[in-house]
Every structure is written in structure tokens, then in C-alpha cells.
Amino acid sequence: MSSLLDTVPLEPVDTPPVKIKPLGRGPLRGFPGGVALLIVLGVLIIAPVGYLIYGSFRSAAPGLRSDWTLANFGFLASPEFLGYLRDTVLLAIGGAVIGFLVALGLAVAILRVRIPGAKFFNSLVVLPAYVPPVLIAFAWIMMLSPQVGFVNAWFAYLGLPTYDIYSLPGIIWVMGLAHVPMAYLYIRPALLAVDTSLEEAAWTVGASKFQTMRKIVLKVAAPGLLSAALIVFVNCLGEFTIPATLGPTSHIATISSQLLVFVSEFPGNPNKAAVMGLFLMTLSVLGLLLNRRMLKGRVYATVGGRGTSQQGARSSRPIRVIATVGCGLYLLLAVVIPAFALIAGSLKAYPSPDFSAPWTFANYQDLITFPGAVGAVVNSLVLSIGAAIIAMLLSVAIARTYLRNPRFGKILDQVGSLTIAIPHIVFGLALLWMWIVLRVGVYGSSWILLLAYVALFLPLGIRATVDAVAQLDTGMEEAARVAGASESKVTRSIVLPNIIPSLLSGGTVVIYHVMRELSASLILFTSGSMVLSVVFWQLFQGGRVSPAMAVGIINMVMIFVVVALANLGLRFVVGRQTKTRTK
């Protein structure tokens, strides 16, 4: 798993594009194809946002006769919305703080303290990233629910205080833990960029390990760390699944969770939902713009020297023991116990805190008869693979335009990456408005889900592909053109074979992100286009807890199988390329 994650981060890092030398000359090089790509991206990404804005100024639901109005925006000043905003901000701040601090501690322990088995921990720290957030929330329900939580039952038996996972602190804890892998993947490169010769110089003049870490390592890595904290905060702002799963019991509602209520429940109000979606999207965009501004204004340069191992000197035994125990505790709380709760719950006839319910495989067998369950498995596979193929093809085309016309390529890159700043449930609502109004047969079919997945996860493909294409030696392509090779032949014979590892890595990341996606799917699915995440949600909402966990386990297994197969394929391709170059 680490090979894929080292190639493409789970969320694309907001870094300046690689500077590349354009092929050929002239301002129109690659322009015609670039215009066609811009039209495609406009329909895919920009137009839905435009329809969301349109919906916020209309007086009725999409597809119905309506008038222009500003009344919808008055809802933003209502006590009801301010309550949603309060809960959203509190959960986002709390989740970001926990996620960032835990990830920072893990990164320091693995990269700077040099704990035993650092490579092992480096791979397992990000393991929860492959698990859909709804499963993480449900695992904690099975552990700390006042009714069926087996950990609470153990605490009560030992005379210890019990905890309510449905409370505000409980939701913050789960959100923070779910965002640790993302924070770690941003913090890790920030710490690795610090030249250890600076630390060695500090130790030479008598500085302690703690002083060196605080005054040198963390200070030099500050821009990357601030970026990581802000990105986690922005993602927590738009988080739908965990608040929607844990919040209703204690009457905690965020903007994203209430947005689904306004769209799907009767009587709904999609116009207010559009206004809420625009507000949430604006907050996310402002957060990412602030992140870019902070990075631009606070860039630290380190001069490479002899201390380039990227790890400090070996820490004392007590510190290494404490750091190792801390990493093990994280894996216990984030991986081992939740996995046990999910697997055990899926094999029980009904949830019980003492596991007194009989063991059974009926939850898996009954899924065959559940409406749409078998079709959801097929839909999940087809849509995830289809979205990955389309996203990577678009990414290659954008990368090729970047190589020919960097200025126009940068525009395509920025347009294609816009969905980074749009919460998934908001973009799902935008697509809903667009395709209901247009009435061309996309809404109500699987096509609308495919369009959503491509748009939402295209940035992952762009980041992987643009950087890979930028590293190619342009001399090979120019030589092929001199020999009379066409553009398509150059792409097939030279470009694609050399970027296959990046395509495979990026495509795999897109696939498992699609399999994890829930919020946009809940708005866009119909009875004939259900996916596994939606089946899980429907079972959970209908009170069929154990079958819901069975669906979750199936979904999780599918994700791990995809990642494992991709790793095998990646190693095979890299091995073949290495042998070819050696010969």
C-alpha cells in the first residue's frame, strides 16, 4: 500500500506545477485540443456550480415553474442556520485539532525518533484511509454507544466511567481520528524536507532534542504544517458522513448533514439547500485560498549538506519506547478495535454489548435478497473503474496540453482541480439542479453518478499525471516527430508506456475514493443506480444494523483487493521497465 501512497497522496497537495519546457514553439501549440478540453471541464465542473447559483435565486424546486428571488438568502441569518453553522465550525475545529496533533505525533515518532519498525508503522498509519468514513463512525457506535457499545460495557464492568459517542466530544473524536491519515500524508513530506544538518549543528552547540525539534524542525517545517492543519480543517467543514451518522441522536446537525434533509426528505427545500451549499463551498474556497497565501508568504529554504538522511540521531531508549507505545495505541484505536467491532457485528444476529447474540452468516446471505444489493456491487465496480479510466484519460490530455502550452495547461489544471474546494454533497446538489433543469435523460441514470465521480476525483488523476509527463525527456518525442510519427503514435508509443506506473497509481486512488464516496451518491442515486455505500446507508437508516455492517465489510474488502491488485500490477510494470532499461 505504501508504494501507491508514496506515488499519489490521498488528497492532492496544493503545490506549484512542475516547470517544464514546452514542446515546439508558438502560442497556439496545443491550443485547439486545449479548448476542447476546457469545454469538457466546463460542462463537467463549472456548469453545475452555475446551476447551483441559479437554484439559490429561484423560488421553487428544479424543473418547476419559479420566479427570481432573494428570499432564500435570508435563511443564512436565521437562528436555525446559525445553529447549523455553530455545530459545523465546532466539529471542524475539534476534528482538525485532533487529526493534526495525532498525525504530527505519529510523523515525529516515525520520521525523527526512529522507532523500531518505522516502515511498518508508516504503512499502517494510513490504513484507515481505505475505510469509508461511515464505517469508521459505525465501528465507534459498536464500541461506545450507550445501548450496544461493548467497550462501554467493559468500562461499566470495571467500574470506569462510560462515554457517549453521540455527544459533541464523541463526534469530534471520530472526525479527528478519521482525518489522521490525510494529515499524516501532508505532514510527512514537510518533515522530510528539513535538512538534518541543521539539527546536527544545533546539537553541536549543546541544544537538547526537544529544543532542536521545537526551534528548528517545527519552525522550518511550519509552512507545510500550517498547510496540513488548514486542509484538514477545510475537509472537516465539508464532512457529511460522520455528523450525519452520529449527530441526529443528540440533535447535532451540520450544514452538510442538514443539506441532505432539505433535498431528500418531505417537505424539502432545495432552494435553501442551494444557498447552504454555496455558503459551505465559499468557506472551503476561502480556506484553500488562505492556505495558498500562507504557503506563498512563508517559504523556508534549507541548504542540503551532509545530513541528508532525513532522520535525526537515534533518540534515547525511554523516548523511543514512549513513541512506539503511542504509535501502537493509535493502531489499536484506529485499526484493530474498530475492525474487530465491524467484523464481529456483521457476524452477529443483532448488536449486543456482551456479544450474547448468536453467530451467523445470515447477514451476508440475506443481502442476495435485499433490493438492489447485488446490482450495487456491480454498479460500484463499473462506476469506479469507469470513473478512473475517464479521469486518467482527461488527466493525460491535460498533461499533454501543459507540455505544449504551459499557460493554457495551467488554466486546465486549475479548472480541473476546482472540485478540491467543493464538498461532495454540495457538488452532488449542483449536479442535481443542472440535470433536472436540462431534462436530457442524465438524471435518474447511472450517468449522473459517473459524471459526479469523474469531476470529484479528477484532481487526483491530474496531480499524478501532470507531474509524470513533466518528467519525460522531450527529446524522444521530438526525435519521433522528426522521423514522421503522428501525434497519436507518439502518445501511444512513447508517452503512455513511460507513465503507466503513474496512471496505475492515480487510477487506483480514484477507484477506491469512488468506492468510499457516500454524500454525493445519496443525493444522485435512484433505485436503478444504487452503489454499496448507499445500500449500507439505507440498511443503517432502516435499523438493520448487522446487515449494514456486512455490506460495509464487503465494501472494505473490495477496496483492499483493488489496492492489492494495483500494487502487484505496479511492481510488475516497474520491474519490466527496469529490466528493459538495463538491457
pLDDT at site 294: 73
From CA 229, how far away is CA 211, in angstroms rounded? 22
Distance set, CA 236 to CA 372, 375, 421, 542 (Å): 31, 31, 12, 27
* Contact predicate 238/284, CB 8 Å: yes
Question: Which among 379, 360, 346 has a CA at the least distance from the CA of 535?
Answer: 379
The DSSP symbol for 120 reads H
Domains delineated in the chain: 1-58+374-531 (1.10.3720.10), 75-360 (1.10.3720.10)
CA 273, 279, 284, 289 torsion-angle sign = positive
Question: Which among 243, 274, 307 has a CA at the least distance from the CA of 73?
Answer: 274
* Contact predicate 507/461, CB 8 Å: yes
- The grid coordinates listed for 344 are 464481529
From CA 77, how far away is CA 381, in angstroms rounded? 43
From CA 386, how far away is CA 393, in angstroms rounded? 11
Tens-digit pLDDT string for the chain (583 aa):
333 333 334 443 444 444 444 444 444 455 677 888 999 999 999 999 999 999 999 999 888 888 999 999 999 999 999 999 999 999 999 999 999 999 999 999 998 887 888 888 998 898 888 888 989 999 999 999 988 899 999 999 899 999 999 999 999 999 999 999 999 999 998 888 877 777 667 767 666 667 777 777 778 888 888 888 999 999 999 999 999 999 999 999 999 999 999 988 777 789 999 999 999 999 999 988 888 777 665 544 444 443 444 444 556 788 889 999 999 999 999 999 999 999 998 998 888 887 788 999 999 988 887 878 888 999 999 999 999 999 999 998 888 887 778 888 888 988 999 998 899 999 999 999 999 999 888 988 999 999 999 999 999 999 888 777 777 656 666 666 666 666 666 666 666 777 788 888 889 999 999 999 999 999 999 888 899 999 999 888 888 889 999 999 999 999 999 888 888 887 887 777 666 656 5
Torsion of CA 321, 326, 327, 332, to 10 degrees: 120
pLDDT at site 457: 96
pTM: 0.87
Residues 6+ apart with CB under 8 A from 369: none
Distance of CA 308 to the CA centre of its chain: 31
From CA 570, how far away is CA 549, in angstroms rounded? 31
In the chain, what's the furthest Cα-to-Cα distance?
81
From CA 204, how far away is CA 213, in angstroms rounded? 14
* Contact predicate 529/445, CB 8 Å: yes
Instruction: Give the number of other Cβ atoms within 10 Å of residue 339's Cβ.
Output: 17
From CA 134, how far away is CA 536, in angstroms rounded? 9
* Contact predicate 308/195, CB 8 Å: yes
Question: Which among 521, 524, 528 has a CA at the least distance from the CA of 434?
Answer: 524
The dihedrals phi and psi of 312, each to the nearest 5 degrees, come to -75, 180
- Measured at the CA of 126, the angle between CA 502 and CA 315, to 5 degrees, comes to 110
Q: Which residues pair with 348 in a beta bridge?
A: 359
pLDDT digits (tens, 9 = 90+) for 534-557: 999 988 888 888 999 999 999 999
Question: Which among 372, 482, 461, 386 has a CA at the least distance from the CA of 417?
Answer: 461
pLDDT at site 497: 72
* Contact predicate 163/79, CB 8 Å: no
- The grid coordinates listed for 178 are 478519521
Question: Which among 337, 169, 140, 146 has a CA at the least distance from the CA of 245?
Answer: 140
Burial zone of 21 (CB within 10 Å; 0-12 exposed, 13-18 middle, 19+ buried):
exposed
* Contact predicate 426/520, CB 8 Å: no
pLDDT digits (tens, 9 = 90+) for 198-248: 766 776 766 666 777 777 777 888 888 888 899 999 999 999 999 999 999
pLDDT at site 485: 63
From CA 439, how far away is CA 344, in angstroms rounded? 46
220-240 residues labelled b (16+ CB within 10 A) or e (exposed): bbebbbbbbbbbbbbbbbbbb
From CA 322, how far away is CA 329, in angstroms rounded? 10
From CA 419, how far away is CA 427, in angstroms rounded? 8
* Contact predicate 514/132, CB 8 Å: no
Residues 6+ apart with CB under 8 A from 536: 132, 134, 135, 548, 551, 552, 555
Segment holding 220, helix H or strand E: helix 218-220
439: left (phi over 0), alpha (psi -120 to 50) or beta: left
3-state secondary structure 452-500: HHHHHHHHHHHHHHHHHHHCCCHHHHHHHHHCCCCHHHHHHHHHHHHHH
Rg over alpha carbons for the chain, rounded to the nearest Å, is 25
pLDDT at site 366: 83
* Contact predicate 96/176, CB 8 Å: yes
